[in-house]
Amino acid sequence: MNLLIIDDEPIQHLIYDKMLDIYVPNASSHTMHSYDGANALEFLKRNSENAKALPDMIFLDINMASLSGFDFLERFKKLSQKLIKHIEIYVISSSIDPDDINRSKAYTFVKDYIIKPVTQIAIKNIFSNNGQFPNNMALLKHYGQ
Question: 71-130, pLDDT tens digit by residue?
Answer: 999 999 999 999 999 999 999 999 999 999 999 999 999 999 999 988 888 888 887 765
pTM of this prediction? 0.86
Q: How far lies 3's CA from each of 25, 42, 94, 100, 131, in Å?
A: 13, 16, 20, 23, 12
Q: How far is CA 127 from CA 10, 27, 138, in A?
A: 22, 11, 18
At position 67, the amino acid (one-letter code) is: L
- What is the pLDDT, as a whole number, of residue 113? 95
Beta-bridge mates of residue 115: 93
Task: Give me the domains of the chain, ranges plus CATH numbers.
Answer: 3-143 (3.40.50.2300)
Chain CA centroid to CA 100, Å? 17
Q: Helix (H, G, I), strand (E, B), or coil: what is residue 108? A: coil
Whole-number Å distance between alpha carbons of 39 and 144: 6
* The pLDDT value given to residue 145: 31
Burial of 95 (0-12, 13-18, 19+ CB in 10 A): middle
**Could you tell me if residue 27 is left (phi over 0), alpha (psi between -120 and 50 degrees) or otherwise beta?**
alpha
